[in-house]
Every structure is written in structure tokens, then in C-alpha cells.
A = this chain, B = another copy of it.
């Protein structure tokens, strides 16, 4: 991998998402050599992927080149690679571009879509965890409408205009809201020869309420907002199968739809090589102690979505979201430095700053620890927080400009089919 040997210990970080980036920042300008490995050369701001999928933002404005972030940092190395295997006995990782030794290893590989073993669903539904996947969804939505124009078969046309989103968490809710706004403001103008009223947006949630991690008020209000936008909400309904044509559920309702977006679950993106007992079955996350260390390996840490720190308070670990990831990344960096100076490592305590979701124009829900509010103000808070969480002045400026434009013009302009999805009949996930 052509990384020079150094007199400083080497910390290898796998993954440049929220967790890995926070760890890398915490370790910069120290007497350490830091190697960050990612399969993309950019950091993705995942909370805004749904706006890329629905034509509101350019993909480039929610991604940031990792090399640029660390361009003036000494003893920092970025490598574009996939890690295939960890060899804890040899303190090394095997990657697509060769083998690398480490003194400390931080696994921050994040999460991937969980299809719960259903290969039909995996093959036929769309996921939205990366920029390319979001662009696939954007293309598919638009290609469906182009195709719906051409058919006189009413069932076929309805299926093309029927969007099923599985999963009532933040991703599903935000995507359903954004699609509903496309239906309202954009599609009737773009497709005057289609009756856009026939477009359906079905949001299917297996639990008894939306946004399960949030307050009852937020969940209720989100539902109201979605209903006011014309989204059909199906609660206590579980999707069992999808063959590309019919969505089968455990209820009486099945759906004929050409587009199913799977936002019903994620699982840890773990890497093989550690002992089997390190990994929690189904969730596939690494079991870590309060220092984010994986049991039995004192120099291997897992942070963010891929880590599961079980406690009485959090029997299933922390939520798989940006905040715990960032906080764990920061703390692990501090703990690695503490260890080097033979100081005590600090246990992780999650500081829950709250959570929020946006449903549409002037419609958002915000749960702060001491204050829960919904509506216009919540929407402004949501925008403010997301704008300032983006990396880079240019990204912030471009996103801000797009939001202002979209708000004033009731428009979303980046509706280009740059990666035709259907026409080429393949999922390109890169």
C-alpha cells in the first residue's frame, strides 16, 4: 500500500463516514501515523441523500472529498480501497490494494441495508445508503413517468405511478414527504398528459407508529403532515415479498408497484476475521465495551453504526445515527491518545442532543431533550442544523442556494436521468 514505516504508532481507520471522520480529526497533528481507508474518495452526508433521490440537490453538494479535508495534515494517509479481512493475530488488514499492519485499528464501516435474508426483496427493491443508489432512485422515478405516458393499459400505468416505501423511520418518512411534494408541485407540470392524481405513495410501517425512536407527539404530527400531503400510511403491516411486480404483505393489502424503496432496516457492515462471538447475530454489529473496544482485542475499536454498546439502558445499543457515531469517533481518538500516554481511557456516555425529521415544506418534527416542537419553526431548525453539519463552505453555499431557490419557486431542478436505470436494466451501485 506504499505507506512509509514511521517511528510513530500507526492507527488504521476503516471508513470515512461520520464516525471515522470524527476519529481521524481527533487524531490529527499528534505523534501518530493515521491511515484512513474508504471505498469511496468522499464522505457522504447521508441525512440528505433523500433530497438527491428526489431531485432537490446535486449529489456533489452533499459529498466531500476526503483527501481535501486532510490535505495539510502530516502523517496522514488516505487510501481508496476495500478491506476484505482483519488478521488480529498479525495486527494487519488485507485490502484490495494489499496488506497493512496496524498498532491500533478503528472499524467505522457503518451500516448497510438489511433485507433480512430475502433475496427477492434484495434483488427487486431500491436502497438508499449511498450517492449512486440515490441517483438510481432519482432515475427510476423519472423513467417510470416517461414510461407511464406511453401505455394505455391502466394497470400497468398505475403500477408505474405507484411508489411503495417500506419502513417508517426517518428515511422512509422523509422520502415519502419529498415524493409527495414532487407529486404536488412538479410532476403535474412536467407530465401534463398524465393524470398525476393517479400517482400513489404508500408508506408501509411494521410497527404501530411512524418514527419509532421519537416522541409520540412527533410521530403523530409526522403522520398528520404526511396525510395532508396525500401519502397513504399503512401501519402494523409487514412486507413479506416483492417479485418486481407485486408487494406481498402479511395483511389483506397487496400492492402492484414498479418501484419499491426498502428503508426497513440496516445492519452492521462488519468485516471477516474477528472471532464469531464479537458479532451480534441479525444486527451484525460488533459487540463493544464502554471504550468501544471489541471484546478480547484491546487494540481494535468499533465505532458508529457498526458498533453495538449494550447496556441496561440501551439493550440494543445506541441508535444507528450520526450523533452517536460522531461522539464515539471523538472519544475513541481521545482514548487512543490517553492510552499512549498511559492515562485512563474514558467510558462512552451518549449525549442525546435530540432527533428530528422533515416531512416537507414548513413541516418538520424536532425532539430536543427538553423541548419537542413541530411545524414551521421545526423546519427552519432542521434546515439550519443540516446546513451547518455539512462539510465545506462550498457545499453549504450550494445547498443553501438550492433550498432558497426550491422554496421560492416551489421547484426542484436537478431532475436529470444521468444514470438510466430501467433502460439499461441493471442496478449500478457504484
Complex interface: chain B residues within 8 A of A365 (CB): none
- Bound complex: CA of A402 vs CA of B402, how far in Å? 13
Q: Is there contact, CB below 8 Å, between B67 and A191?
A: yes
Q: Judge if A60 is at the interface, Cβ distance under 8 Å.
A: yes
Say whether, besides A72-B189, A152-B2, A193-B77, A405 and B393 are in contact (CB < 8 Å). Answer: yes
Name which of A65, A189, A393 has the most chain B CB atoms within 10 A of its CB: A65
- Bound complex: CA of A424 vs CA of B79, how far in Å? 17
Q: Is there contact, CB below 8 Å, between A98 and B65?
A: no
| Smallest beta-carbon distance A341→chain B, Å | 28
Q: Is there contact, CB below 8 Å, between A2 and B41?
A: no
Q: For window 59-93 of chain A, which residues contact chain B by CB distance below 8 Å? A: 59-61, 63-65, 67-68, 71-72, 77, 79-80
Say whether, besides A1-B150, A77-B193, A80-B146, A394 and B398 are in contact (CB < 8 Å). Answer: no
- Bound complex: CA of A98 vs CA of B147, how far in Å? 12
- Bound complex: CA of A420 vs CA of B422, how far in Å? 20
Stoichiometry, as copies per complex, reads 2
The size of the chain A interface, using a CB distance under 8 A, is 59
Say whether, besides A416-B60, A417-B40, A424-B430, A150 and B65 are in contact (CB < 8 Å). Answer: no
Q: Is there contact, CB below 8 Å, between A41 and B417?
A: yes
Q: Judge if A385 is at the interface, Cβ distance under 8 Å.
A: no
Complex interface: chain B residues within 8 A of A419 (CB): 132, 419, 428, 430
Q: Judge if A427 is at the interface, Cβ distance under 8 Å.
A: no
Chosen A-B contacts, 8 in total, with CB atoms closer than 8 Å, are A59-B60, A59-B416, A64-B413, A68-B190, A97-B150, A131-B416, A398-B401, A419-B430
Residues of A within 8 A of B (CB): 1-2, 4, 40-42, 58-61, 63-65, 67-68, 71-72, 77, 79-80, 97-98, 131-132, 135, 142-143, 146, 149-152, 189-193, 392-395, 397-398, 401-402, 405, 411, 413-420, 423-424, 428, 430
The 6 A-B pairs with the shortest beta carbon distances in the complex, nearest first, are A58-B60, A71-B189, A67-B190, A60-B414, A58-B58, A42-B416
